[in-house]
Amino acid sequence: MPKRRDLIRMTDDEIDEFLHGRRTMNVATINHDGSIHLVAMWYGFYDGKPAFETFAKSQKVLNVQRDPRITVLVEDGDTYEELRGVEIVGKASVLEDPADVMEIARDVVRRYIGVDKPEDVDSIAAAMANKRFGIVIEPERVVSWDHNKLAGIY
């Protein structure tokens, strides 16, 4: 009989589809004193990797510049049998180039802000990218679960 963990693991395609949904990412970085800084962020993708934009002087940027280790969690589900999630453990890098930050901001705008006219994406993204850096996550380990695969059997 397969292990329960194996039953609920998502395939690579399922993980990709899940991450490309409109969800919030919980981002954990390490503070200077070793404590965890945990925040919720909208996110997009940069070169196929999860990424987000944030104020250049934010705690997340300071933490990643000092220690690139990062863990993020994207999850959903309101009841136990609906719980799904993807945890990514890896390294983060800070992008300071405004063109890179704009690329991330455009993706965030398309994913989260209901823009009717495509020409409005750049103006909204430019406002979001002002005084911001991008953070890109390089996954080293991915853990996933989808309790829907249990079909009500616990």
Counting residues of the chain whose pLDDT is more than 90, the rounded percentage is 73
How far is the CA of 61 from the CAs of 21, 45, 150, in angstroms?
A: 25, 17, 39
**Cα distance between residue 154 and residue 137, in whole Å:** 34
pLDDT at 152 (0 to 100) = 63
Tens of pLDDT, residue by residue over 80-124, are 888 999 999 999 999 999 999 999 999 999 999 978 787 888 788
The structural domains of the chain, ordered by start, are 4-148 (2.30.110.10)
pLDDT at 2 (0 to 100) = 62
pLDDT at 1 (0 to 100) = 55
The whole-model pTM stands at 0.91
Spell out the long-range contacts of 109-118 with Cβ–Cβ below 8 A and sequence spacing 24 or more: 110/44, 111/22, 111/42, 111/43, 111/44, 112/22, 112/42
Tens of pLDDT, residue by residue over 14-40, are 999 999 999 999 999 999 999 999 999
**Cα distance between residue 18 and residue 12, in whole Å:** 10
Tens of pLDDT, residue by residue over 121-134, are 878 888 888 899 99
